[in-house]
Structure 1
């Protein structure tokens, strides 16, 4: 009996040791798997942090503090430097893409495509693709700071700021009030070129884009549009200053930079389609 009990004890100990070894092996295997997973995550994090779009994202997160604020000049400088160096490849684009090789205008209103790179309450990053002759109508950016970087192609940009103090035309119809604005930019841009920056009350807060060739432009807006927060997009039609003003024709050149802006409904021929962003991904942690 004692021998049998002793043998059973030995057998039980061996079984326990076997189970313990198996548990250790499982734990070791789990540890190795977890280490491998962490290694992959770290690798992805390092790769993501090294991309230009990731650095832009981090700079935006620092610069944009939310509605009612304007980025500090130092933060604007950082964003400008990053965007000035931005290339199409940094957002997964190539000038060899078929879209950018087409130079033929279509008979109907060309459709504009956009791709949202990132969006949060404080800022958004979006790429707009404009075929030849496509137009983004004159529109505003209420309370926003906007960075526009032309990545591919050539486009004409015209922008305005409101005249201060406010001047309203007394000759306009009550249903279509006209407000005086001053011309800020009226030029053609070809990539690669410097970044355009507009502010809530300066820099050309109201602008229009017209594609001369197939174009791609990256827009960084802070804060983004929001109907709920009274930051909806308003569209305008610009009228020559002479249309609703009396002045001496000899002084015409003095007023060439002025326009009357009339608020209008969203243009019926404005067509925009959203597509998935397929460029380098942003790590938001």
Structure 2
């Protein structure tokens, strides 16, 4: 491999990601060594820019897809994947969104390389499966729909640009999120550890947020108000699909 590839920013990111996530049994933020390695990875990731990946920021009019074809709203550039982590770039067209989805048992790091994204993060609340029995939804839900509901809370909504620090998620925090392109096309470098793997129970699930109300009481404490938001699992939305395109930047070798 050429020397410039071995010293590239993306090579440094991948090398530190391997150091951080190679031992799943210690991948816990309460583990001092893991936490230190995660901080190092975040610091290196903060430095990456579109030019480091040889990606040219796209204008509102430009598109890599010929006009005769229906262009996907989101495309993905694969950079590297191992059992420990995956790394790639998502590119969103103007007005595109990656719908509300989860990352079961996974850490995630997102660094914008051009444009702006809005990220809405949710956490599940701990409540029994039948916890939705006392609340009402409009329109009413079928019994089979209620059985899949989970109470949730909106943890944060933030906008990120290439000058922002990475957005991070863990298996316990901010694990469910939606990503929206703001004011034009955008792209971000994405690390998932470990990668999605349905055979290992790490499949991607999509959700719809439902607002509920209870007729049993007029007084609500903070926890009850948080519980007014519910996640309902749903199929992948028809308006969302992800295409692929070649990655033009330095290769990764580990």
The interval holding the TM-score normalised by the smaller chain is 0.7 to 0.9
CA RMSD of superposed structures (Å): 2.8
Q: Deviations over 1:82-128 (max 9, x none)?
A: 11111111111133xxxx21169xxx995211011101111000110
* Pick aligned residue for 2:155 from 169, 175, 184: 184
Greater C-alpha radius of gyration: 1
Q: Deviations over 1:148-193 (max 9, x none)?
A: 1111111211110111355631155332221111111212223321
Structure 2 residue runs of 5 or longer lacking an equivalent are 29-33, 63-69, 136-140
Matches within 5 A, 1:1-285: 44=2, 46-65=3-22, 70=27, 72-95=34-57, 100-102=58-60, 111-165=73-127, 168-170=131-133, 171=135, 173-176=142-145, 177-202=148-173, 204-212=174-182, 213-242=184-213, 247-248=217-218, 255=225, 259-284=229-254
TM-score by length of structure 2 reads 0.82
CA distance in 1, matches of 2:227, 2:209: 12
Select the structure with the greater relative contact order (CA < 8 A; seq sep ≥ 6): 2
Structure 1 residue runs of 5 or longer lacking an equivalent are 1-40
- Say whether the 8 Å CA contact 1:140–1:206 is kept in structure 2: yes
1:269 CA displacement? 1.7
Q: The residue matched to 2:144 in structure 1 has which SS?
A: coil
1:48 CA displacement? 2.3
CA distance in 2, matches of 1:48, 1:283: 9
